[in-house]
Chains A and B, each alone.
Chain A
Amino acid sequence: MATLKRFPAYLRDIQEEIEGHARNFGLDFFPILYEVLDYKTMNEVAAYGGFPTRYPHWRFGMDYEQLSKSYEWGLSKIYEMVINTNPAYAYLLEGNSTTDQKIVMAHVAAHVDFFKNNYYFSKTNRKMIDGMANHAARTRRHMARWGQDVIEDFIDTCLSLENLIDPMSAYIVRHRERPEGEEPEAEVGRLRAKGYMDSFINPPEYLEAQKKKKEEEAKRQRRRFPEQPQRDVMQFLIENAPLEHWQRDVLEIVRDEAYYFAPQAMTKIMNEGWATYWHSKILTEKALTAAEVIDYADACSGVLATAPGRLNPYKLGVELYRNIEERWNKGQFGKEWDECDSMEQKRNWDLRTGMGRKKIFEVRRLYNDVTFLDEFFTLEFCVEQKFYTFGFQERTGNWEIMSREFKKVKDQLLKMLTNRGQPVIVVEDGNFENRSELLLRHIHEGADLDAGQARDTLRNTAKLWTRPVSLLTKVDGKGKLLRCEDGNISERSAEYG
């Protein structure tokens, strides 16, 4: 890129120094290309999600306006941005102090290390700059052919469903394809019995009836469409909705980008925690001069500040890594540790195992936010870090602290992070009531859907499916079926089952 030439020498020196320290600590990252941007361009690039080459869409303009406003009013400032590509592109804000730039570069090196090594990024397209540019070119071509309004409207519709994907599908096998015609014999469970009692305890007629029932079940299953409920609603629509070529193409673009960004939502806490851990390590132990300490402390306290009713992923992440490091340094893990009941003993537990550093590197490679917290968010950590749950109190009309109980805090955390905090919606039936209508099911896990948005989203789904679409959900504990036909929504109670 032409602008790279302007990367000032003093910053290049800092980059070299910081990356040297980072490598010595064992971080392993793609080459990083920095660009220095003024705040306007920074806001622009941020509005495009880090990719200056996105397809044209008004939503980026909206984000840009909001970013610019909040910068002008002094509410927020983007210090840094880095994208998951190889080589990685990172943006620095022009006019930041040298101390700030040092922090940012250390932070960025750790992010890129995370992108490169974390399992959940292993299937992402590292040439996404080109990917995005291709998407933009395709979109422009469609716009030239069909008109900007038509394409933009359609993108709106697709974006409405962008969270209905299955981010885990790249890493697990949801269901295996069975070879054609090879059906497993329907096994019927038999009660255990001595030989002479067998025909009484497992009467052959009964077994026969059971077998038949199972086979019929399997047959019905095969006739179901989709055979199993499908979480990747976008994929289902791409494959099965009666779409024009260009429509299918646009839908694929939106889905592709949603999958590209999904791992970042799945590892927000881990990724930010990791970057914060390393910028603080590299700066305080290596790169900081005495004159910069105050500026550093100021910037750092800003990053780690907590506010009531808000979870700071930087804070939670970095504290948890530090906690893990300490525990593995002192041998505070394993069977004996788990079974120890004495608080006194636990407090002074130190086996000098010194495996902390190794452990956190392993954690950054294998975990995502859900598994990270599920495994390492302990009672001691919860108490020490003063976590609480909060909720909306109907009685007072206020948001209040609900509880400091460990189990509740952890459950709430995991619930918030599961499926990136998005409701799980599956395609239940692509031929609902035998009228080629679409039935979606909201897998209700305690929280209702936002009713207003659900209706609008349902309308958008119906636009793609072109036939009526229904959504089975629960409202206030009762089953509800929303049905959208020709843009009109009707609602009736239904068996959620």
Chain B
Amino acid sequence: MSQKIDLDHGRFRQIIRGKIKQNLRKYISQGEMIAKKGKDTVAIPIPSVDIPHFKHGDKQQGGVGQGEGEPGDSLGQGEEQPGQGQQAGDRPGDHLLDIEVSLQELAEIMGEELELPRIQPKGTEKIVAWKDKYSGIRTTGPESLRHFRRTYRQAMRRQIAMGTYDAKNPVIIPIREDKRYRSWRSEPLPQSNAVIIYMMDVSGSMGDEQKEIVRIESFWIDTWLRSQYHGIESRYIIHDAMAKEVDRDTFFKTRESGGTMISSAYKLCAKMISEEYPADIWNIYPFHFSDGDNWSVDDTHTCVELLKKDVLPNCNLFCYGQVESPYGSGQFIKDLTEHFDEDDRVVTSEIKGKDAIMDSIKEFLGKGK
């Protein structure tokens, strides 16, 4: 019986997947999912999953209730109350259903839709963890690990063999030799380590809209890379003329003003890598978002040198995303392309607006590195 509902439930999840895939571009560009993020899941409003019927519009309907109160009193959060801002629908598919999806599943859906190749991690052979797994039985061990059923069976077997078993009075008494204990084996857990280093320009020219784009894009990049690596780490660097490491919240919220020295961020990034993430066992993904307005040509030179010497040799991929801003000159992306056009470890992408986020993600992650 329980298999039957699993089939129907599976069908339902499959349909949900399809709907998410269909609407992925919309979800990505609107960023509405990030707001509803739980620990490992997101709630996604899915349009027209439920079956439509001819039915009365809610608001003209009203109803009858029972209890205290005067006419004119608000009923607060009654069950009949539809969500705020839900206009009497004149569009098809207005009936939304909030569905929970795990981030893992979401990443898979995105991977399929964007045709992202799976990443072949480096350093897979490096064993970094051992995991204890209870997989066997042995005759000695602590009482807390005693395997009741096996012990019982052993004792019963012995008693039957010895002829002391009485079917009318089936008392089984285990002796020392009957006891069985769970035993474990330490298994190597091949693990590949990955770190994403997010860098963002927070100089005066990066407005709220630009940051929103960075926020959405990094959410999706994060989701994808997390699905590819176990235990991924994220580090956040913000910079204007100076760079510093911050936590995630600050990263997306800070607004500094002042000039831009991109090299400061690259320096910090290079330092971080050399001190904490040896390149032979870490998969390193630096992402840099900026509006492309650097302080001086000299600084751009320093950047290029830093990338060539310290950053690129150590990382899987270096991604530079340039968000369009009314104030920036957008020069930096051109400089990068000029120097690294041949180098496939460098990916640059111009993000013209929210609608371009999806293509930009594809440019970044489409190489499978």
Task: Please state if A390 and B62 are interface contacts (CB–CB under 8 Å).
Answer: yes
Determine if B58 is an interface residue (Cβ-Cβ < 8 Å).
yes
Which residues from chain A contact B84 at a C-beta distance below 8 Å? Answer: 397
Interface flags, B56-78, vs A, CB<8A=1, else 0? 11111111111111111111101
Which residues from chain B contact A62 at a C-beta distance below 8 Å? Answer: 12, 49-50
Which of B11, B12, B53, B91 has the most chain A CB within a 10 Å cutoff?
Answer: B53
Task: Please state if A312 and B11 are interface contacts (CB–CB under 8 Å).
Answer: no
Determine if A251 is an interface residue (Cβ-Cβ < 8 Å).
no
Determine if B10 is an interface residue (Cβ-Cβ < 8 Å).
yes
Q: Tell me which of A156, A396, A397, A447 contacts B61 (CB under 8 A).
A: A447
Task: Please state if A164 and B54 are interface contacts (CB–CB under 8 Å).
Answer: yes
Q: What is the interface of chain A mostly: helix, strand, loop, or mixed?
A: mixed
Determine if A416 is an interface residue (Cβ-Cβ < 8 Å).
yes
- Known A391-B62, A450-B88, A451-B88; contact A64-B57, beta-carbon cutoff 8 A: no
Task: Please state if A388 and B2 are interface contacts (CB–CB under 8 Å).
Answer: no
Determine if B142 is an interface residue (Cβ-Cβ < 8 Å).
no
Task: Please state if B54 and A163 are interface contacts (CB–CB under 8 Å).
Answer: yes
Query: Closest chain B residue to A450 by CB distance?
Result: B57
Determine if B178 is an interface residue (Cβ-Cβ < 8 Å).
no
Q: Tell me which of B12, B52, B73 contacts A457 (CB under 8 A).
A: B52
Q: Which residues of A contact B (CB under 8 A)?
A: 40-41, 44, 47-48, 52, 56-62, 64-65, 69, 152, 156, 159-164, 306-312, 315-316, 385-392, 394, 396-404, 409, 412-413, 416, 421-423, 425, 442, 446-457, 459-460, 489
Task: Please state if B15 and A58 are interface contacts (CB–CB under 8 Å).
Answer: yes
- Known A60-B8, A309-B78; contact A162-B53, beta-carbon cutoff 8 A: yes
Task: Please state if A386 and B68 are interface contacts (CB–CB under 8 Å).
Answer: yes
B69–chain A nearest beta-carbon distance, Å: 5
Q: Tell me which of A152, A156, A309, A450 contacts B63 (CB under 8 A).
A: A309
Task: Please state if B57 and A451 are interface contacts (CB–CB under 8 Å).
Answer: yes
Determine if B337 is an interface residue (Cβ-Cβ < 8 Å).
no
Q: What is the interface of chain B mostly: helix, strand, loop, or mixed?
A: loop
Q: Tell me which of A159, A308, A315, A448 contacts B69 (CB under 8 A).
A: A308
Q: Tell me which of B5, B9, B49, B80 contacts A399 (CB under 8 A).
A: B80
A selection of 11 A-B contacts at a CB cut-off of 8 Å is A59-B12, A61-B8, A62-B50, A64-B12, A306-B65, A308-B75, A310-B78, A388-B66, A390-B64, A397-B84, A401-B70
> Contact residue range for chain B?
35 or more
Task: Please state if B12 and A456 are interface contacts (CB–CB under 8 Å).
Answer: no
Determine if B161 is an interface residue (Cβ-Cβ < 8 Å).
no
Please measure, in the bound complex, the distance between the C-alpha atom of A355 and the C-alpha atom of B100, giving whole angstroms.
55
Determine if B249 is an interface residue (Cβ-Cβ < 8 Å).
no
Shortest 9 CB-CB contacts between residues of A and residues of B: A309-B78, A452-B89, A61-B12, A452-B94, A391-B62, A456-B52, A61-B8, A61-B9, A58-B11
Determine if B367 is an interface residue (Cβ-Cβ < 8 Å).
no
B296–chain A nearest beta-carbon distance, Å: 54
Which residues from chain B contact A152 at a C-beta distance below 8 Å? Answer: 11
Which residues from chain A contact B9 at a C-beta distance below 8 Å? Answer: 61, 64-65
Query: Closest chain B residue to A38 by CB distance?
Result: B2
Interface flags, B76-105, vs A, CB<8A=1, else 0? 101111001000111111110000100000
Q: Tell me which of A41, A387, A398, A416 contacts B66 (CB under 8 A).
A: A387
Please measure, in the bound complex, the distance between the C-alpha atom of A394 and the C-alpha atom of B57, giving whole angstroms.
14
Task: Please state if A61 and B64 are interface contacts (CB–CB under 8 Å).
Answer: no
